[in-house]
């Protein structure tokens, strides 16, 4: 891992060219250092504050999107959403502004590490305990966001950033609240126009992680994040998505109609506990009111599954470990017997030699 401190740094694609040259000043305060990530409506740069020399990440909303009212308001709402949530596992927002030439920008802490999508591509499925620890951090972050009346709405591995921090290899930072939605019960100073930026019937998010009500453009609440967290955990422990069709339409159909697949059958080599399948069946229920009621509840359920799996040895993963331990002990025993036998033979030979001399 890169430096063991909070970090927003991704490996650069050599084919990606800077949209703005290195050294460009943003609002006479931030100097762009290099391009980190490029999207359809803007870019994220590593930058440096001119006066404090602090390294930061700057997300720029470029023309013509900076002048498009809905997109501009959504960008502003991302800044408001993340700046109001103070949590170890949510990227910190430091500043927001609009340059004289109309470019909106959002300043965040600079992260060093990689997102979970990159981890999955490199390592494949993760052990249950490691995956559970990661998703419990995500649950904690989203629980805090929900307490502020904010739902993320686009939870996926690419928006969960791994950094080395406080001695923890898999310290997670939740990023990209660009399509977050504020629930009506939230802070009063957010305009109704902002709340209504995505009216019923509008579909925003990433299809594989969408709850049924989100994929159809229906009314949504915090339980779509519960659903998405369940999908992320399923993908981490099996290396596969629970619902994935050959086309987007097929994926939506599976989300709406298919039974939740068994994680144990999807990845039999992982020897996952039966209780985990029960967890997925509840987290990914089609009806929101039959899912876990909160991120805290889901996090507690995940912790319980891991705890019980550890106590159930030698079942599941424990059985494999027990067999390995027994084999190792047997090998050690055989080596000891061999050593004793060799020593005995040497002693016998020595006695015979002494007797022969006599």
Binned at pLDDT 50, 70 and 90, residue 40 comes out as low
Q: Which residue has the higher pLDDT, 278 or 74?
A: 278
Q: State mean pLDDT over 83-108.
A: 88
What residues act catalytically?
A: 154
pLDDT at 169: 85
Q: Tell me what percent of the residues of the chain surpass a pLDDT of 90.
A: 52
Q: Which residue has the higher pLDDT, 319 or 75?
A: 75
Place of tokens 């805090």: 144
User: Closest Cα to residue 131, out of 250, 267, 21, 331?
Assistant: 267
**Is the model's pLDDT at 47 over the cut of 60?**
yes
The lowest-confidence range among 68-82, 112-126, 140-154, 308-322 is: 308-322
Determine how β-strand 93-98 pairs with β-strand 55-61.
Answer: unpaired
**Is the model's pLDDT at 12 over the cut of 70?**
no
Binned at pLDDT 50, 70 and 90, residue 165 comes out as confident
Q: Which residue has the higher pLDDT, 19 or 11?
A: 19
- Detail the DSSP E strand segments found in the chain: 25-26, 30-38, 42-49, 55-61, 93-98, 104-109, 113-115, 150-151, 160-165, 168-174, 181-182
DSSP of 37-85: EE-SSEEEEEEEETTT--EEEEEEE-TTGGG-HHHHHHHHHHHHHHHH-
Q: List CB contacts of 236: < 8 A, sequence separation 6 or more.
A: 116, 120, 125, 126, 131, 134, 135, 157
**Is the model's pLDDT at 128 over the cut of 80?**
yes
**Is the model's pLDDT at 28 over the cut of 70?**
yes
Q: Could you state, in order of their start, the residue ranges of all structural domains in the chain?
A: 25-109, 115-311
**Is the model's pLDDT at 146 over the cut of 70?**
yes
pLDDT at 309: 87
Query: 70 near 99, Cβ under 8 Å?
Result: no
Place of tokens 């009500």: 213
Highest mean pLDDT among 17-31, 36-50, 140-154: 140-154
Binned at pLDDT 50, 70 and 90, residue 313 comes out as low
- Detail the DSSP E strand segments found in 72-229: 93-98, 104-109, 113-115, 150-151, 160-165, 168-174, 181-182
Q: State mean pLDDT over 305-333.
A: 56
Determine how β-strand 55-61 pairs with β-strand 42-49.
Answer: antiparallel
Q: State mean pLDDT over 72-98.
A: 84
Binned at pLDDT 50, 70 and 90, residue 351 comes out as very low
Binned at pLDDT 50, 70 and 90, residue 11 comes out as very low
Binned at pLDDT 50, 70 and 90, residue 325 comes out as very low
Q: List CB contacts of 330: < 8 A, sequence separation 6 or more.
A: none
Query: What is 25-109's CATH topology?
Result: Phosphorylase Kinase; domain 1 (3.30.200)
Radius of gyration of the chain from its Cα atoms, rounded to whole angstroms = 27
Q: State mean pLDDT over 52-58.
A: 96
User: Closest Cα to residue 93, out of 145, 135, 136?
Assistant: 145
What is the rounded CA–CA span in Å between residue 326 and residue 342? 24
User: Closest Cα to residue 56, out of 64, 69, 65, 47?
Assistant: 47
Query: 240 near 126, Cβ under 8 Å?
Result: no
The lowest-confidence range among 90-94, 157-161, 288-292, 317-321 is: 317-321
What is the rounded CA–CA span in Å between residue 38 and residue 280? 34
Place of tokens 């359809």: 40
Q: What angle do CA 280, 284, 288 make, to 5 degrees?
A: 135
Per-residue pLDDT reduced to its tens digit, 177-205: 765 566 664 333 333 333 333 444 444 45
Q: List CB contacts of 41: < 8 A, sequence separation 6 or more.
A: 61, 62, 65, 71
**Is the model's pLDDT at 126 over the cut of 50?**
yes
**Is the model's pLDDT at 314 over the cut of 80?**
no
What is the rounded CA–CA span in Å between residue 31 and residue 48? 5
What is the rounded CA–CA span in Å between residue 210 and residue 284? 10
pLDDT at 205: 56
pLDDT at 180: 58
End-to-end CA distance of the chain: 71
What is the rounded CA–CA span in Å between residue 169 and residue 131? 12
The DSSP bridge partners found for residue 226 are: none
Q: Which CATH number fits domain 115-311: 2.102.10.10, 1.10.510.10, 3.30.70.270, 2.70.50.30?
A: 1.10.510.10
């Amino acid at each position: 891992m890169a430096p063991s401190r909070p970090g927003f740094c991704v490996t650069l694609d050599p084919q990606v060219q800077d949209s703005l040259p290195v050294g460009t000043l943003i609002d006479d305060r931030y100097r762009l250092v290099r391009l980190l990530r490029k999207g359809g409506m803007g870019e994220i740069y590593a930058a440096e504050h001119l006066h404090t020399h602090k390294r930061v990440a700057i997300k720029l909303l470029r023309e013509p999107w900076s002048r498009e009212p809905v997109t501009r308001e959504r960008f502003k709402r991302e800044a408001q959403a993340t700046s109001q949530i103070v949590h170890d596992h949510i990227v910190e927002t430091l500043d927001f502004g609009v340059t004289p030439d109309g470019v909106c920008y959002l300043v965040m802490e600079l992260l060093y590490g990689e997102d979970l999508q990159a981890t999955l591509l490199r390592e494949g499925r993760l052990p249950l305990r490691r995956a559970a620890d990661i998703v419990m951090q995500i649950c904690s972050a989203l629980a805090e966001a929900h307490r502020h009346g904010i739902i993320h709405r686009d939870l996926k591995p690419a928006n969960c950033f791994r950094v080395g921090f406080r001695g923890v290899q898999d310290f997670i930072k939740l990023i990209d609240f660009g399509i977050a939605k504020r629930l009506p019960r939230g802070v009063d100073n957010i305009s109704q126009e902002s709340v209504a930026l995505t009216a019923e019937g509008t579909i925003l998010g990433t299809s594989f992680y969408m709850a049924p009500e989100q994929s159809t453009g229906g009314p949504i609440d915090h339980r779509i994040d519960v659903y998405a967290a369940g999908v992320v955990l399923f993908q981490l422990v099996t290396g596969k998505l629970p619902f994935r069709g050959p086309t987007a339409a097929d994926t939506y159909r599976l989300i709406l109609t298919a039974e939740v697949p068994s994680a144990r059958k999807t990845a039999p080599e992982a020897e996952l506990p039966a209780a985990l399948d029960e967890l997925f069946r509840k987290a990914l229920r089609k009806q929101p009111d039959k899912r876990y009621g909160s991120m805290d509840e889901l996090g507690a359920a995940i912790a319980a599954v891991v705890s019980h799996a550890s106590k159930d040895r030698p079942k599941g993963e424990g059985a494999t470990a027990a067999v390995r331990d027994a084999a190792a002990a047997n090998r050690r025993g055989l080596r000891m017997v061999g050593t004793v036998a060799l020593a005995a033979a040497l002693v016998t030979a020595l006695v015979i030699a002494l007797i022969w001399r006599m």
